[in-house]
């Protein structure tokens, strides 16, 4: 029996690893043939810093360090960005980076420090030093003061030359090409700075940035900022714009008549479901419920989905299924009217979600390769919040059941323990895990948790994210689960702040 279990686990984890490798290969081959991992991550870090998106910035900072970027290389990029997106966003990004470095060190991850950052510049004439650096970047003579703004505001010209192109550029932690790559990425993420963007694209080309790299940089801006800003960069490098709205975008008006005695109950359920859909599912652009003033039983819902795939995913979410099942007896009639968009340009401005692809933990889709399953009512007394369970295996001879467990935001189970231990594999969203007497651990897709026998522990979703993991129970026949006390709200709130 032990041999069967060992063989099964080997095959299972081999399959998981092979899928991860195949997925990584697909991602690598998805248009990125000119930008290496360092450049992709440095670009995303710079763009997210400029846009102020600290949630995704934290994820990309981890990715950058995983790819081999040195701590000092990232520090230099974030310091340099003060000159382009301001001290507030530069300092915010440095604060996030400090937290990331400390968290990784706490987990035993040893990231390379990189070259030492030069903190002193003893040049007597920093303005002249900076002016010469700018001449090298632009390949054109630089007047003193700079024409236009330099004559109008000499102090601004001095700050630009002395602080940025002298003091900061004096450090060789990043070379000139890398620094221009950082600048272009940041400016591409910021609306209203097209002249500066075009100027730095020219400088970037002078330092060796290729057209192929700039075209791939557009894809990063599309992904982390918005397709709208991606089009700004496309225009700046002479590329054709791409449509902001997918060809298979779905717009629908649902015309619903509610049984009068259920109206208040229906409204309450609808408000909760529509809010959850927009907050949690990135592909749901809008679900906007309304009712007629003179006939409040007549409800109208404007529904907009980024594409048909987003709509089909929406139909499989637990919150929609619960909405559908719970309101079925309340609905007297239902008519679905599909619409075409007359003015896509204005629509993009109205629905800001089209302008951003910020996939933070609030917009994490709960749809994974595994089924969500039914609500976990049998064990609900041991959970705070709702959870769902789908059994993935049926062969009892293996004595190794695997289930996909999905937690709604804020849901967690009680402290508990297993006599033969447990294995968790995170598949989507962001969750929390803790063993008795140890620090909280945040877990995300791909993380594997090995829980030793008879160790008190709990796990669940963060308060703002759906979370799902595979639960593997070794030797189920003799593996006794003992439920203990609940995780109190105070401890859970503290866990979310870590």
Q: Which residues contact 107 (CB under 8 A, 6 or more apart)?
A: none
- C-alpha span between 123 and 38 (Å, rounded): 31
- C-alpha span between 214 and 217 (Å, rounded): 5
Cα–Cα–Cα angle for 138, 141, 145, nearest 5°? 105
- C-alpha span between 215 and 217 (Å, rounded): 5
Pairing of strands 284-291, 250-258: unpaired
- C-alpha span between 349 and 357 (Å, rounded): 15
Coil, helix or strand at residue 351 = coil
- C-alpha span between 172 and 76 (Å, rounded): 10
- pLDDT value of residue 493: 87
- pLDDT value of residue 364: 37
- pLDDT value of residue 371: 78
- C-alpha span between 498 and 492 (Å, rounded): 10
- pLDDT value of residue 343: 76
Contact 53, 190 (CB under 8 A): no
- pLDDT value of residue 7: 44
Q: Give 330's DSSP letter.
A: G
* pLDDT tens for each residue of the chain, 498 residues long: 444 444 444 444 444 343 333 333 333 434 589 999 999 999 999 999 999 988 789 999 999 999 999 999 999 999 999 999 999 999 999 999 999 999 999 999 999 999 999 878 888 899 999 999 999 999 999 999 999 999 999 999 999 999 999 999 999 999 999 999 999 999 999 999 999 999 999 999 999 999 999 999 999 998 888 878 999 999 999 999 887 767 788 999 999 999 999 999 999 999 988 888 887 776 788 899 999 999 999 999 999 988 888 899 899 888 899 899 999 999 999 999 999 888 766 666 666 555 444 333 333 344 566 777 788 888 989 999 989 998 888 888 888 899 999 998 889 999 999 999 999 999 988 899 999 999 999 998 889 999 999 999 999 999 878 899 999 999 988 999 999 999 988 888 888 887
Q: Which residues contact 279 (CB under 8 A, 6 or more apart)?
A: 362, 363
- pLDDT value of residue 361: 34
- C-alpha span between 460 and 406 (Å, rounded): 9
Ordered alpha helix ranges (H), 342-461: 344-350
- C-alpha span between 233 and 219 (Å, rounded): 10
pTM confidence score: 0.56
- C-alpha span between 226 and 352 (Å, rounded): 10
């Amino acid at each position: 029996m032990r041999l069967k279990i060992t063989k099964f686990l080997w095959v299972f984890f081999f399959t998981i690893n092979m899928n991860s490798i195949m997925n990584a290969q697909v991602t690598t081959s998805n248009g990125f043939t000119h930008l290496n991992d360092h450049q992709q991550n440095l670009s995303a870090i710079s763009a997210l810093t400029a846009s102020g998106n600290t949630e995704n910035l934290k994820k990309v900072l981890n990715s950058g360090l995983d790819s081999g970027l040195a701590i000092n290389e990232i520090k230099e990029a974030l310091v340099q960005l003060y000159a382009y997106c301001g001290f507030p966003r530069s300092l915010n990004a440095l604060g996030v980076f400090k937290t990331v470095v400390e968290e990784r060190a706490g987990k035993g991850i040893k990231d390379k420090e990189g070259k030492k950052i030069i903190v002193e510049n003893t040049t007597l004439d920093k303005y002249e030093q900076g002016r010469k650096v700018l001449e090298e970047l632009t390949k054109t003579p630089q007047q003193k003061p700079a024409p236009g703004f330099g004559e109008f505001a000499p102090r601004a010209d001095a700050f630009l030359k002395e602080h940025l192109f002298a003091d900061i550029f004096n450090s060789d932690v990043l070379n000139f090409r890398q620094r221009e790559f950082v600048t272009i990425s940041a400016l591409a993420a910021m609306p209203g700075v097209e002249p500066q963007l075009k100027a730095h694209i020219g400088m970037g080309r002078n330092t060796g940035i290729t057209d192929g790299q700039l075209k791939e940089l557009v894809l990063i801006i599309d992904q982390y900022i918005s397709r709208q800003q991606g089009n700004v960069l496309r225009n700046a490098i002479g590329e054709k714009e791409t449509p902001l709205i997918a060809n298979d975008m779905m717009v629908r008006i649902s015309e619903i008549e509610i049984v009068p005695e259920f109206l208040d109950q229906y409204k309450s359920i609808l408000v909760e479901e529509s809010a959850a859909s927009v907050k949690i599912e990135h592909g749901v652009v809008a679900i906007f419920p309304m009712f007629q003033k003179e006939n409040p039983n007549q409800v109208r819902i404007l529904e907009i989905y980024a594409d048909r795939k987003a709509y089909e995913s929406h139909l499989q979410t637990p919150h929609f299924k619960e909405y559908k099942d719970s309101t079925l007896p309340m609905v007297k009639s239902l008519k679905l009217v599909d619409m075409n968009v007359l003015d896509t340009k204005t629509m993009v401005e109205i629905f800001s979600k089209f302008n951003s692809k910020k996939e933070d933990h609030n917009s994490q889709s709960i749809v994974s390769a595994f089924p969500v399953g039914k609500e976990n009512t049998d064990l609900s007394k041991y959970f705070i919040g709702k959870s769902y369970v789908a059994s993935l295996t049926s062969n009892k001879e293996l004595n190794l059941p695997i289930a996909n467990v999905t937690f709604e935001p804020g849901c967690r189970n009680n402290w508990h323990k297993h006599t033969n231990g447990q294995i968790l594999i995170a598949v989507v969203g962001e969750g929390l895990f803790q063993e008795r007497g140890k620090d909280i651990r945040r877990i995300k897709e791909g993380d594997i948790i090995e829980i030793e026998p008879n160790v008190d522990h709990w796990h669940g979703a963060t308060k703002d994210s759906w979370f799902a993991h595979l639960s593997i129970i070794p030797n189920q026949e003799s593996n006794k689960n003992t439920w203990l006390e609940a995780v109190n709200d105070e401890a859970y709130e503290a866990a979310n702040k870590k």
